[in-house]
Amino acid sequence: MTHLENLIFETGEISLLTINRPKALNALNRQVIEEMTRTLRDVRDDQTIRVLIVTGAGERAFVAGADIAAMSEMSPIEGLEFSRLGHRLMQDIEDLPIPVIAAVNGFALGGGLELAMACDLIVAGENARFGQPEINLGLIPGFGGTQRLAHRVGQARARQLIMLGEMIDAKTACEWGLVNKVVSSNQLLAETRDLAAKLIAKSGFALRQAKAALRASFTMEEDAGLRFEQSAFGLTFSGADRIEGTKAFVEKREPKWQHR
Ligand code: CAA
C-alpha cells in the first residue's frame, strides 16, 4: 500500500477512502488527486474489495472543491493539466469494476460535487450542501461538472447551479435525483455501510456488467449504448452467477453467488 498523507484508506470487503485535509475542507489539490489515483489502482487490483465508500474527514465538508489557493497560482497550461488530472481521477472511479458510494457530509462543492457524481450512488447527511460555485471565482467546473451534472439532473437545473453558482441542500438534491438517500448526519457512515452490504449481497459479476452498461449511457450515443447493453447482457450468460440466479428463482430459493 502506498504512503498517503491526505487520505485514510481502510481496506476490507467494504473499503473506506476518507479524504483527510479538514483544515482546507478537504479541498482537492494535485497531491490529493495523485494519492487518490494511486489508491484506486490498489483497489482495482484487490479482488477482495467489493464496494468502495468515499467520504470526507470531519463534520464540515465532503470536499469543498478543487484547491482555490493552488489554482490562484497556476498558469494556463497548469490549469489545463490540473483539469486533465481531475478528469482522469473521475474516469478511474467510473471505470472501477465495483460499486462506489459517496457518503457526503457537509459541503460537496465544485470538484467535490464532481467527485460525488463520478460515484455510482450518493448518500447525503442532512447537513450536506451541493453546488458548482466556480462561476463566483471566474471559473467553470473543471472536473466534469458541465457534463455529468446535466446528465444527472437535466439541463435546466444544471444551468441553474453552474451559471448562478448557488448551493442546494440535501433535501433539494434528493428531490432533484442528484442523491439517492438523505440520512441523519450522525448516521451517515452506518447508513452508507448498510447500503454497501445490500450491494455485496448481489452478484459482483452482474454488478460489473450493469455498471459498465450504465456508464455507456454517459459516454456513448444511444444506439451504441443499446448495442453495448446487448453485449454486456450476453456476457452475463458466460458467468456462473447467471446460471445460479435463474436456477435459484425456478427452485424458489436464495441464490449463492460465486461473483463470476
Ligand atoms: N480550496 C482551498 N481552500 C479551501 C477551499 C477550497 N476549495 N474551501 C475552503 N477552503 C479553506 C478556507 O480557505 C479556510 O482556510 P483558512 O482557515 O486557512 O482560512 C478553510 O478551508 C475553512 O473555510 P471557510 O473559513 O471559508 O469556512 P466557511 O464555513 O466560512 O465557508 C465554504 C465554507 C462556503 C465551503 C467556503 O469555504 C467556500 O466557499 N469554499 C470554496 C468553495 C468553492 O468555491 N469551491 C469550488 C472550487 S473551484 C473548483 O472546484 C474547480 C473545479 O471544478 C475543478
Instruction: Give me the pLDDT at residue 39, please.
Output: 98
Whether residues 40 and 162 share a domain: the answer is: yes
Q: Which of 73, 114, 175, 221 is catalytic?
A: 114
In this structure, is residue 156 part of a structural domain? yes
Question: Is 114 tagged catalytic?
Answer: yes
- pLDDT tens per residue across span 68-121: 999 999 999 999 999 999 999 999 999 999 999 999 999 999 999 999 999 999
Q: Is the pLDDT of residue 2 over 70?
A: no
**Domains identified in the chain, total number:** 2
Q: Is the pLDDT of residue 256 over 90?
A: yes
Instruction: Give me the pLDDT at residue 260, please.
Output: 84
Confidence grade of residue 1 (pLDDT, cut at 50, 70, 90): low
Rounded mean pLDDT of the chain?
A: 97
Domain hosting 218: range is 204-250
What CATH number should be reported for the domain holding residue 32?
3.90.226.10
Q: Which atom of ligand 1 is nearest to the CA of 107?
A: 35
Whether residues 134 and 151 share a domain: the answer is: yes
In this structure, is residue 11 part of a structural domain? yes
In this structure, is residue 18 part of a structural domain? yes
Whether residues 156 and 86 share a domain: the answer is: yes
Task: Output the residue whose Cα is nearest ligand 1's atom 44.
Answer: 133
Grid cell for residue 134: 466556480
Dihedrals phi, psi of 42, to nearest 5 degrees: -60, -40
Whether residues 238 and 216 share a domain: the answer is: yes
Query: How far, in Å, from the CA of 35 to the mean position of ligand 1?
Result: 20
Grid cell for residue 205: 459479476
Question: Which of 159-189 are b and which e, b meaning 16 or more Cβ less than 10 Å from the residue's Cβ?
Answer: ebbbeebebbebeebbebebbeebbebeebb
Of 183, 200, 217, the last residue of a domain is 200
- pLDDT tens per residue across span 188-220: 999 999 999 999 999 999 999 999 999 999 999
What CATH number should be reported for the domain holding residue 242?
1.10.12
Of 105, 117, 129, the residue nearest 192 (C-alpha) = 105
In this structure, is residue 34 part of a structural domain? yes
In this structure, is residue 256 part of a structural domain? no
How far is Cα 157 from Cα 116, in angstroms, rounded to an integer?
17
